[in-house]
Amino acid sequence: MPLDLPNRPRRNRQSAAIRDAVRETSLHAGQLIYPLFLHTDDADTPLDALPGQTRWGVKGLVEHLRHCHDDLGLDKFVLFPKIESNLKSRTGDEAFNPDGLIPRAIRQIKKSLPGVCVITDVALDPYNRDGHDGLVTDAGTIDNDATVEVLCKQALCHADAGADIVAPSDMMDGRVGAIRAALDGQSHTNVSIMAYTAKYASAFYGPFRGALDSAPKTAGNDRKIPSDKSTYQMDPANVREALRETSLDEAEGADIVMVKPAGPYLDVVRAVREHTTLPVAAYQVSGEYLMLKAAAQSGWLDERATVMESLLGIRRAGADMILTYFAPEVASWLA
């Protein structure tokens, strides 16, 4: 005998057509930002630590972006450089070399694909021989204010080359306001800032640091170098601190705020989303990517189903856009 139930939620799940009609969260290619690695070599080198990802030469990068844009509908890309050891220094001067790897890549991308959005990472760890996002003092501490001066030069260098968005990932205090003032002072008022607002001192970054050779360099150094980034990246235990950082970045002129990593910090994504009217980005980082990829390659998980579920979870938490290494696959699945 049927139960006397006036409300049966399953009625809204009984067919694909109805499920489509009542679906609360959507995902499309326009919400994806594709992170890419590049180097000065002409050869395009697959990355063992990140199966399916490549360290691109500039020519190969442009052709790959052409495929992603023309065939898959992706139009937002963020660039991360592996810098040769002989170009690294304590002061990270290569970060603002107008003829350096990133400015050259920006110019070539904009020449070949003027309609795509080029986002650049603003931080010193790829250029700093100490492997830190900031300048390391003789006493072994990170010099916040001196670092911000270099970051402003780096952001201007990228803007001069044609970057659409600069993304400071360093977590130095005051860098968003300083970069905004520097950009505006050089007539780059249309260049946006996507701030890594709540970037945590996470254990999920390992494969990324391997791809860029950007981990802290403590062995064989003639000075005391911090072994981790916990004096500037956020404590994984904190949420309220993320809201403080959001308020500061918003006041200093950020156009987009970001939470990194994404998956283990969905509560932070939600809290930030409810705290600001700015667009919120979330970064599905290399460790998250590698866990899903390795489990799928081992046959334990369905890659397409789990990737799509993970991204929908990030969107459901409140992210307007997602940085993910799965962007090409997801775009093809969505198409």
Return the active site residues: 199, 260
Q: What is the DSSP string of 58-102?
A: HHHHHHHHHHHHHHH---EEEEEE---GGG-BSS-GGGG-TTSHH
Query: Is residue 272 a contact partner of residue 250, using CB atoms and an 8 Å limit?
Result: no
Tokens for 141, please give them.
């501490």
Q: What is the DSSP string of 216-264?
A: ---TT-SS---SSSTTTSBPTT-SHHHHHHHHHHHHHT-SEEEEESSGG
Classified as helix, coil or strand, 125 is coil
Contacts of 10 (CB under 8 A, 6+ apart): none
Query: Is residue 94 a contact partner of residue 151, using CB atoms and an 8 Å limit?
Result: no
- What is the distance between the alpha carbons of residues 98 and 161, in angstroms, rounded to a whole number? 8
- What is the distance between the alpha carbons of residues 279 and 301, in angstroms, rounded to a whole number? 32
Q: Cα 9 from chain centroid? A: 38
Question: Across the strands, what pairs with 128?
Answer: 89
Exposed/middle/buried for residue 314 (C-beta within 10 Å: 0-12, 13-18, 19+)? buried
Question: Across the strands, what pairs with 234?
Answer: 200
Kindly calculate the radius of gyration of the chain based on its CA atoms and give it in whole angstroms.
21
Q: What is the dihedral of CA 204, 192, 80, 319, to 10 degrees?
A: 30
